[in-house]
A = this chain, B = another copy of it.
Amino acid sequence: MTVLIRPDLAALDRIDPLRPFRDRFALPQGVIYLDGNSLGALPRATAARVAQVIEAEWGRDLITSWNKHDWMALPGRIGDKIGRLIGAAPGETMVGDSTSVNLFKALAAAVRLKPGRRIILSEPANFPTDLYIAEGLAALLAEGHELRLVEPDAIEAAITDEVAVVMLTHVNYRTGRMYDMARITAKARDAGALVLWDLAHSTGAVPVDLNGAGADLAVGCGYKYLNGGPGAPAFLWVAERWHGEVTMPLTGWLGHAAPFAFETRFRPATGIARGLVGTPPILSLAALECGVDILLDASIAEIRAKSLRQSALFAQLIEQELAGHGFAIVSPREDGARGSQVCVAHEHGYPIMQALIARGVIGDFRAPDILRFGFTPLYLGYGELWDAVWVLKEIMEDRSWDRPEHHARARVT
């Protein structure tokens, strides 16, 4: 492999077809942001749109905005927009609540579609909230459901006729490893099990084709690659073929067939609307839509091509520039098995990441020893990859990572 120099990366920036999208984000000076997989950057349109919703809609039109500005349509309208990024048909996706709450809905719905089966199959390194929600649901149901955790390579063999639902995060939050969605889904279907995909680290980052794969349920996150803002509403997707029989566990008034009839008994709405629970969070939805709209203007194929090139180059630069400093690349090197991040293990990962952040290179740390770097092709340039690795090299060579302030544990890591 030839040695990379900074002009190679600058040249890639000059021919980058996604380069114009960077101007649609408000990025701070002096920061190289490699954490859009944790909190996406701020779209330039968001502040004005949220101000409009606050001042012109809420402030001026008050309660009449539910009709006048069709606030009630937002969960479905934004859901359909996200649906275009994940291979969903219109009417299959709704936005609202958190990813965790949507996981609960989807998982409860799944196990009730498979009443004779007791196994929820996942992997021990899944994102913890997925496992906790499953554990909590099994305890609540008290019907002997078991959360069975097997390593990724053993998932397929573990999909037996006892399995109600295979619950996996498509791209692992810590390693960036990506499952073959079509393959796992087909294997589950053959065994009569359902598949619930958590697309938190996929949506807006890698091409997803839920209907093409024949998936059953999915959830995803609004504040990572969709750039919807901190704690943005999440989404729930249910394949249309299940809409007639799916039973939601959180039967709030907005999932009712006629919410404003104020009936005493629950009758579920038709379609994905039965996944709605409470009153939609309008300010947050408005912000999310600004982020989603940018994605819809871009080509997910171009995003994926740039993401793979960026992650491969970043890994190559780590190896080229930081040999002998104790870093081990954890993420898969094979393109088809890698999401949009590169995770690097180091025994001093925590203080090294704090030192990087102090120098304006922002990634994050995942216990016990992972430095995580995410690639967001809409606003991250190639030259920045070089600069980030250069800062990392300086930190390692002058051992500035070992200063006491970088060892202090923050509340949020």
Using a CB–CB cutoff of 8 Å, the interface residues on chain A facing chain B are 26, 28, 31, 33, 35, 38-39, 41-42, 46-47, 50-51, 54-55, 58-67, 70-72, 97-101, 104, 108, 124, 127-129, 131-133, 135-137, 139-143, 149, 174, 223, 229-234, 247-256, 259-266, 277-285, 287, 357, 362, 364, 366-367, 410-413
Contacts of A233 in B (CB 8 A): 281
Contacts of A132 in B (CB 8 A): 251-253, 255-256, 265-266
Contact of A252 among B133, B143, B256 (CB under 8 A): B133
Contact of A250 among B104, B247, B255, B366 (CB under 8 A): B104
Contacts of A248 in B (CB 8 A): 136
**Do residues B367 and A262 form an inter-chain contact, with CB atoms below 8 A?**
yes
Contacts of A253 in B (CB 8 A): 100, 127-129, 132
CB distance from A52 to the nearest CB of B (A): 10
**Do residues B39 and A55 form an inter-chain contact, with CB atoms below 8 A?**
no
**Do residues A64 and B362 form an inter-chain contact, with CB atoms below 8 A?**
yes
Contact of A55 among B47, B64, B124 (CB under 8 A): B47
**Do residues B229 and A283 form an inter-chain contact, with CB atoms below 8 A?**
yes
**Do residues B39 and A63 form an inter-chain contact, with CB atoms below 8 A?**
yes
Q: Which residue, A35, A101, A364, has most C-beta atoms of chain B within 10 A?
A: A101
**Do residues A277 and B100 form an inter-chain contact, with CB atoms below 8 A?**
yes
A411-B250 contact given A230-B279, A357-B64, CB 8 Å threshold: no
Contacts of A250 in B (CB 8 A): 100-101, 104, 133, 136
**Do residues A28 and B261 form an inter-chain contact, with CB atoms below 8 A?**
no
Q: Which 4 A-B pairs have the closest CB atoms?
A: A98-B278, A136-B251, A100-B252, A129-B253
